[in-house]
């Protein structure tokens, strides 16, 4: 059955891989599943046809036969649950890998998003400089905890899993801030994720999608 995901018609990052279709592409590449990508314009995101698939008018979505999913956590979990390689077979190890997926999305990503948004949207505000420590400190606190847990291990819990895929994807959003480099173990962990052939294919595909297609209209 054909898998179709959605992505920004033109990602605001110009193909740096920070839009969330990249993590879904990465999971599909790890799983060896072919997929198609349907571009969605900012206007179409909020129109009924897309809202029928994604109630919050966002990308990415995932369609396969009569299944339509939104939320990258759910999409990556769905891929990982149905293909070998992204989740351990041992049930306790599997539960721990899923726990890392949740940790990435619900504990690590929120303070990172707060920082990313502050850097992108609030830079010109008179209070921006004063607020910055308020958004940077929670990120540093989380990264310190995560780095302590990772230690010198290659991945978070044994072999590479969907938990690492999600954590690396979330941490990548920090790169433009420079904060990731303050935590060498995490920077090396992210680099290991980026070095995976499946990530490289996913990154190249989203870059080509954003740079090599003719602009719409």
Ligand X SMILES: N[C@@H](CCC(=O)N[C@@H](CS)C(=O)NCC(=O)O)C(=O)O
- Kindly list the residues in this chain that would bind ligand X in the complex (CB under 6 A): 19-20, 45, 57-59, 71-72
Q: What does DSSP say about strands 3-8 and 61-64: parallel, antiparallel, or unpaired? A: antiparallel
Instruction: Give burial (CB, 10 Å; 0-12/13-18/19+) of 157.
Output: middle
Closest to ligand X by CB, 17 or 193: 17
Closest to ligand X by CB, 71 or 157: 71
Closest to ligand X by CB, 20 or 25: 20
User: Shortest approach of ligand X to residue 204 CB, angstroms?
Assistant: 19
Closest to ligand X by CB, 20 or 142: 20
Written as one string, the DSSP assignment of 52-76 is TT-TT--S-EEEETTEEEESHHHHH
Residue 127 token pair:
């209070």
User: Shortest approach of ligand X to residue 58 CB, angstroms?
Assistant: 3
Distance CA(28)–CA(60), nearest Å, equals 13
Beta-carbon contacts of 19 under 8 Å, excluding residues fewer than 6 positions away, are: 7, 8, 11, 12, 13, 59, 60, 206
The strand order across the sheet containing 3-8 reads 36-40, 3-8, 61-64, 67-70
Closest to ligand X by CB, 74 or 137: 74
Closest to ligand X by CB, 62 or 160: 62
Residue nearest ligand X by beta-carbon distance: 58
User: Shortest approach of ligand X to residue 91 CB, angstroms?
Assistant: 26
User: Shortest approach of ligand X to residue 168 CB, angstroms?
Assistant: 15
Distance CA(205)–CA(159), nearest Å, equals 25
User: Shortest approach of ligand X to residue 73 CB, angstroms?
Assistant: 6
**Residue pair 4/54 in contact by the 8 Å Cβ criterion:** no
Distance CA(30)–CA(40), nearest Å, equals 24
User: Shortest approach of ligand X to residue 4 CB, angstroms?
Assistant: 16
């Amino acid at each position: 059955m054909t898998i179709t995901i959605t992505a920004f018609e033109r990602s605001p990052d110009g193909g740096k891989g920070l839009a969330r279709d990249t993590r879904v592409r990465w999971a599909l590449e790890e799983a060896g599943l072919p997929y198609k990508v349907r571009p969605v314009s900012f206007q179409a995101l909020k129109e009924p046809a897309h809202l029928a698939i994604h109630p919050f008018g966002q990308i990415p979505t995932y369609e396969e036969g009569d299944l339509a999913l939104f939320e990258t956590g759910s999409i990556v979990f769905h891929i990982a649950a149905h293909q070998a390689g992204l989740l351990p077979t041992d049930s306790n190890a599997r539960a721990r890998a899923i726990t890392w997926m949740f940790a990435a999305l619900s504990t690590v990503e929120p303070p990172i998003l707060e920082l990313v948004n502050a850097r992108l949207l609030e830079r010109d505000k008179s209070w921006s400089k004063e607020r910055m420590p308020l958004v940077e400190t929670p990120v540093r606190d989380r990264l310190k905890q995560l780095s302590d847990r990772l230690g010198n291990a290659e991945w978070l819990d044994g072999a590479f899993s969907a938990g690492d895929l999600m954590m690396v994807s979330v941490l990548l959003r920090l790169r433009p801030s420079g904060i990731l480099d303050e935590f060498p173990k995490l920077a090396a962990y992210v680099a290991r994720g980026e070095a995976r052939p499946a990530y490289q294919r996913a990154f190249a595909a989203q870059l080509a999608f954003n740079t090599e297609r003719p602009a719409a209209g």
